[in-house]
Structure 1
Amino acid sequence: MKKGSLLVLTIVICFILLSGKNSERPYQSIMVTKKVEESYQINFLNFQKEVDKLESLTTFERSKDVFLSIKKQVLTTRLAYKEIEFIFDYYQTPYNGTFINGAPLPKISEYFDEGNVIAPSGLQALDEAVYEDYSLENFNHIKVLAKDLKVHVDHVSEIHLPIRLKSSQIIECIRSGLVRVFTLGVTGFDTPGSVNGITESYISFKRMRKTFMTFEAGIYPEARPKFKSIVNLFLEGEDLLKSNDNFNEFNRLTFLKHIINPLYAELLEFQNLNNIRLEPYKKHAQNYQAKNLFDIDFLNTNFYSELVYLPLDNDKTIYLGKLLFEDPQLSGNHKMSCLSCHNPKKGFSDGLPKSLSNKEGFTTLRNSPSLLNVGYSTRYFWDMRASNLETQVGHVINNKLEFNTDFDAIIEKLNKDSKYLKLFKDAYAGISEKDINQRSISNAIAAYVNSLKSFNSTFDKYVRNEIEDYPQSAKRGFNLFMGKGACGSCHFAPVFNGSVPPFYLDSESEVLGITQGFDSINPKLDLDLGRIANGIQIDKFSHFKNSFKTVSVRNVALTAPYMHNGSFKTLEDVLEFYNLGGGAGMGLDIDNQTLSKEPLLLSKQEIKDIIAFLKTLTDPTGFVVEKKGSFISH
């Protein structure tokens, strides 16, 4: 052996011995990452090749036969993409969501073509287009989509490859991939035309298993049983996906309880047992230490409140915020408090179509939404005009129909109250020249609102295996909600709101064609313009007309009436509205409706089952906050 080689080998052996058991074995780690990198690059180049084939087909002379060939190639191309998605989306999230596999809707991106509308593009748009009827117009549309996809894939390959990975990042990619499969794959979100989500999820699952199996090259003895258990769970998941590929019949609840949640937990356990350092590369809302998609801490609300005055998970500010939340002296007439519109007994809503204003005989413009779990969002209010919970407070204080006052007046009142002077000093001393100021008031109220978390419902306990009994109707309802009913493709698990998985970086609004009351015979479109009129420049685009925030359906049994205008009195009305295809499905002319106008064809029993599931999302235990060993009733 040459002296140089011997020296290198000696150094490596010494490094391994000195590094001890508290760190990952360097040589094995390099072997694992190198194998994954090589495999990923092969699969990416194969995807690129399939995109090239697709684009070339669109250059042929237009005919129905060519159209069918394109349709088949779109399916093939999408399956090739599923081999790389769990890694590609982790590293290229904005680019992926904008150009490669984002929802087939117009987009306003802060990363690309800032300030302008980006037309629908990518694989989801193609999946939708090739399942529309053949026509010259549609063929030309598909041709543009295919050409754009090729341009974007070619571009990203130059900056994305070769990829460099760490073992910890590979595991995080897989765990996020599990979330993606469950929330976007088997729900049909990702396949709006083909409804091929089960088959595509199978391909994703199979690739994630093969990627994980590269860790076999360097396993500590104590991690080996966990490695085998994870591989078996993947194989069971693949069997379930392959043997039950009928979209409407696939049992998503079984998949969640017996495959997704156990895998999500055991991958973290394996990482710890195999001494792979916890060092996530990507910043996102998932709490990497969570072991279950429905753990109360699966998502971290601190992610959504990074720029606040003081972190919102602070006992002192939560307690102070609760007092301010309930105090009518914050309003101009000393008669209204936050409780006026957000009653704990009504899920922190008020039970009215539109909330009462400070002027007798008048209401506010919209229905009062629940505040439970409201912290899991990037935008606030129905029209999404506020960017965080602190700024939301100011909108209420300044609104002429609500508190009808300003911060200066409130500060003057609070400075005359010795109790508040002490509480603000205890919580905020030393941050600013004066303890009671606009930011500290807003921060305290935001901290309290952020604490209103509700993840101990009957459903949560069942999927966390804390209870065994769960109604059969609710089981059927969950599967319908996440499948045929298409509810879960807008109300994303686990919060069941519009925060988009798997990284929960953005919050969505939808155009549903909400009517003035539920009248399916003579429907009239509600006149509220919604998001397009919220005063924010980047939202002043036609596709945001009549668009409203997708709020959580947790505790929905407590918060009737429904929708932004409060015009749907019952959950039955809401489900029937969706069942008919929204406003457009009922015959209204709505160019930008994001809800499909096609009827869902839900039976009366299926609607009852979905409502049965929704009722199991009720959680009154979330109405208390623990403080220094005691509980404070909300």
Structure 2
Amino acid sequence: MKKTSILLGSISICLLLFSGRKAVSPYQKDTVPEKVAALYAANFQKFQNEVHSLAALANNATSIDEWEVLKKQVEKTRLVYKEIEFIFDYYQTFYNGTYINGAPLPKVSEYFEADKVIPPGGLQALDEAVYEAASIENLQHIKVLANGLKERVDFIAKIHLPVNLKSSQIIECIRSGIVRIFTLGVTGFDTPGSVNGLQESYVSWQSMETTFLYFEAGISPEAKAEFEAIKELFAQGKKVLNANTHFNDFDRLSFLKEVVNPLYAALLEFQNLNNIVLEPYKKHAQNYQAKNIFDVDFLNTDFYSELVYLPLDNPKTIALGELLFQDPQLSKDNMMSCASCHNPNKGFSDGLPKSISNQEGVFTERNAQTLMDAGYSTRYFWDMRASDLERQVIHVIDNDLEFNTDFDAIVNKLNKNDNYNKLFKEAYGGINTEDINQRSISNALAAYVNSLKSFNSPFDKYVRNETKEYPESAKRGFNLFMGKAACGSCHFAPVFNGTIPPFYLESESEVLGITQGFDSIAPRLDTDLGRMANGLKLDNHPFLRNSFKTVTVRNAALTAPYMHNGLFDTLEEVLAFYNLGGGAGMGLEVENQTLPDTPLDLSQQEIADIIAFMETLTDTSGYGARGD
């Protein structure tokens, strides 16, 4: 028996040699994670040292004569951080977004200092601060920021290092880092003061390349060609990012089509060919199997609906939800349906500044948002008061101006209909003693809304290389949207809504200074308190006064009028408002306006180009989506 085993083993080795495969012992250790972890630890220490230097400079600064030295140190510290960000943010996402490199805005975190307002801090706040006017007051502010950053970095270093990496997680870090560069780096989101996004993106890109090259040791023969292709794409990306191009002139569309999307796909293919088993460290909305940032399945809406009654991708519940969506029986007087305010022919909006109510001559408080791509979000309604699509239904049912009823009344109506009894039993039979109930009704409607996805627009097809035809004006418009006009720093790709990349774990709202009428001579601030008054303790803070959800601009050509109060009739008016710097740019006192109040200096041609791009985001094919 022993001789037989030896003989079989010898045959196996010979077969491996003749097939050109490397004979790898099952006990051979993957050394890539250890090497990457060592490099990462060294780079993290380098970052920590630069933070210490920054804090020391700030503490010793006594006059504005040291301003330029501080500015250079902030720039140096940020560039060193970019060498570790793609790994650090993957493992410490919420800590990073709260304390290290989040947007320079006050926030209330569900994870840290519960119910307390956390003031702006971290690298983005420092980037903004050193580009403010030099003054003793601002010098003191920089000192506070620098010392706060030092405290946070020293704390996280103690619990974060050494980090335990796995090969598939390293690749996932790199792929997410590519998304970050495209959505937050080259858009200028991450550099609100310096607008140094291209240089910082280059440093991050180079660091990811260095990390990836560790995979060359022990590479399988099948993966060698893909490895070389990835090396070429990294080199191409470095050349583009390091071309000394002015921020406003950077060709983001070509970068997306020629470098970002091909590299994103190639890294997944390399992982598969090199037999690297997927072992994710964290759960997030990015679908790791997607090959293109603008694939319909790049983001997984199941991530946003984990606690629902049944998963929202069931074709039976989606079909039932569509039937309910169009049924006026859901309202008290059988006069209104969901489609009354969310008309499929108007991009699932209604074409009115504020929606009709159940009372003649009376309108609801706000404009009807499109329901297309609504599932890609963590919060719902303009004031973000609902946490998932099922709960969103409850608010409509209860609202005095909308359905003005309750679920008991609706259940009684539906139980009298044989077809509904049959359909609910097929979809929900056996889950509860009664098939038709509050949860099943809400779930069916949520499933239908969740199925409304629009990723087959002319723009999507062009960037996925499914068509070569695309208007030159729209190309210019996309580059403006993602660059000079700063639209993409709030309306994040690929959904172009406020759900934050690269992991898409949270959805944002903004204070824009929306007015009661578009009067730039004598503007009056809209009185709707928005998110601050949504009834949630977590949001009841002054910095969220007049703050409203950042909704998608997909299908915007179909959904006029715009904003929560239906202020603007056309996209031209919307762009004109932003071009002025919002309410604050028009001279109003808008506390905590998150939109920069400086004019964008967009020409009429540039505005027309941005609109041309937005019009190519129209996709009505998803209206009949069934989630299969």
Shorter-chain TM-score range: over 0.9
Given the two structures, how large is their TM-score scaled by the length of structure 1?
Answer: 0.95
Could you report, residue by residue, the CA deviation over 1:548-594 in whole angstroms, capped at 9, with x for unpaired residues? 00000000000000000001011000001000000000000012100
Cα distance in 1 for residues equivalent to 2:28 and 2:184: 34
Instruction: Say if 2:191 is the partner of 1:209.
Output: no
Cα distance in 1 for residues equivalent to 2:571 and 2:222: 51
Cα distance in 1 for residues equivalent to 2:625 and 2:151: 52
- Compute the displacement of 1:28 (Å): 6.6
Cα distance in 2 for residues equivalent to 1:364 and 1:613: 31
Could you report, residue by residue, the CA deviation over 1:16-43 in whole angstroms, capped at 9, with x for unpaired residues? x9xxx99997677532111101100010
C-alpha contact (below 8 Å) 2:510/2:548 kept by paired residues: yes
User: Segments of 4+ in structure 1 off by > 4 A?
Assistant: 21-29
Cα distance in 2 for residues equivalent to 1:615 and 1:313: 29
Q: Secondary structure at the match of 1:510?
A: strand
Match of 1:473, as an amino acid? Answer: S
- Compute the displacement of 1:108 (Å): 0.6
Q: Which shifted more, 245-254 or 82-91?
A: 245-254
C-alpha contact (below 8 Å) 1:29/1:218 kept by paired residues: no
Match of 1:374, as an amino acid? Answer: A
Could you report, residue by residue, the CA deviation over 1:444-489 in whole angstroms, capped at 9, with x for unpaired residues? 0000000000000000000000000100000000000000000000
C-alpha contact (below 8 Å) 1:531/1:548 kept by paired residues: yes
State the partner residue of 1:448.
448
Match of 2:274, as an amino acid? Answer: N
State the partner residue of 1:83.
83
State the partner residue of 1:126.
126
C-alpha contact (below 8 Å) 2:314/2:627 kept by paired residues: no
Matches within 5 A, 1:92-241: 92-241=92-241
Match of 1:86, as an amino acid? Answer: F
Q: Secondary structure at the match of 2:342?
A: coil
Cα distance in 2 for residues equivalent to 1:627 and 1:481: 30
Q: Secondary structure at the match of 2:501?
A: coil
State the partner residue of 1:281.
281
Alpha carbons of structure 1 residues 327 and 605: separation in structure 2 relative to 1, 3 Å = same
Q: Which shifted more, 386-395 or 56-65?
A: 56-65
Match of 1:75, as an amino acid? Answer: E
State the partner residue of 1:555.
555
Q: Secondary structure at the match of 2:548?
A: strand
Cα distance in 1 for residues equivalent to 2:291 and 2:437: 40
- Compute the displacement of 1:65 (Å): 2.4
- Compute the displacement of 1:426 (Å): 0.6
- Compute the displacement of 1:245 (Å): 3.5
C-alpha contact (below 8 Å) 1:477/1:611 kept by paired residues: yes
Cα distance in 2 for residues equivalent to 1:291 and 1:156: 33
Alpha carbons of structure 1 residues 627 and 58: separation in structure 2 relative to 1, 3 Å = closer
Alpha carbons of structure 1 residues 613 and 25: separation in structure 2 relative to 1, 3 Å = farther
Match of 1:300, as an amino acid? Answer: N
Match of 2:165, as an amino acid? Answer: L
Cα distance in 1 for residues equivalent to 2:215 and 2:406: 59
Alpha carbons of structure 1 residues 529 and 25: separation in structure 2 relative to 1, 3 Å = farther
Match of 2:347, as an amino acid? Answer: G
State the partner residue of 1:291.
291
Could you report, residue by residue, the CA deviation over 1:429-453 in whole angstroms, capped at 9, with x for unpaired residues? 1111111110000000000000000
Q: Which runs of 5+ in 2 are unaligned?
A: 1-8
State the partner residue of 2:48.
48
State the partner residue of 1:308.
308
Alpha carbons of structure 1 residues 26 and 365: separation in structure 2 relative to 1, 3 Å = farther
Matched residues, number? 613
- Compute the displacement of 1:164 (Å): 1.1
Q: Secondary structure at the match of 1:59?
A: helix
- Compute the displacement of 1:625 (Å): 2.4
Could you report, residue by residue, the CA deviation over 1:49-91 in whole angstroms, capped at 9, with x for unpaired residues? 0000000001124222211111100000000000000000000
Match of 1:429, as an amino acid? Answer: G
Alpha carbons of structure 1 residues 594 and 23: separation in structure 2 relative to 1, 3 Å = farther
Cα distance in 2 for residues equivalent to 1:187 and 1:379: 24
Could you report, residue by residue, the CA deviation over 1:522-561 in whole angstroms, capped at 9, with x for unpaired residues? 1111111100000001100001000000000000000000
Match of 2:560, as an amino acid? Answer: A
State the partner residue of 2:252.
252
Alpha carbons of structure 1 residues 451 and 393: separation in structure 2 relative to 1, 3 Å = same
Cα distance in 2 for residues equivalent to 1:80 and 1:25: 38
C-alpha contact (below 8 Å) 2:458/2:618 kept by paired residues: yes
C-alpha contact (below 8 Å) 2:515/2:526 kept by paired residues: yes
C-alpha contact (below 8 Å) 1:54/1:146 kept by paired residues: yes
Task: Give the root-mean-square deviation of aligned CA atoms.
Answer: 1.7
Could you report, residue by residue, the CA deviation over 1:255-281 in whole angstroms, capped at 9, with x for unpaired residues? 000010000000000000000002221
State the partner residue of 1:402.
402
Could you report, residue by residue, the CA deviation over 1:129-170 in whole angstroms, capped at 9, with x for unpaired residues? 000001111111100000000000000000010111000000
Could you report, residue by residue, the CA deviation over 1:581-633 in whole angstroms, capped at 9, with x for unpaired residues? 000000000121000001101011000000000000000111112488xxxxx
C-alpha contact (below 8 Å) 2:451/2:626 kept by paired residues: no
Q: Which runs of 5+ in 1 are unaligned?
A: 1-9, 629-634
C-alpha contact (below 8 Å) 1:205/1:238 kept by paired residues: yes
Cα distance in 2 for residues equivalent to 1:561 and 1:429: 42
State the partner residue of 1:7.
none
- Compute the displacement of 1:517 (Å): 2.0
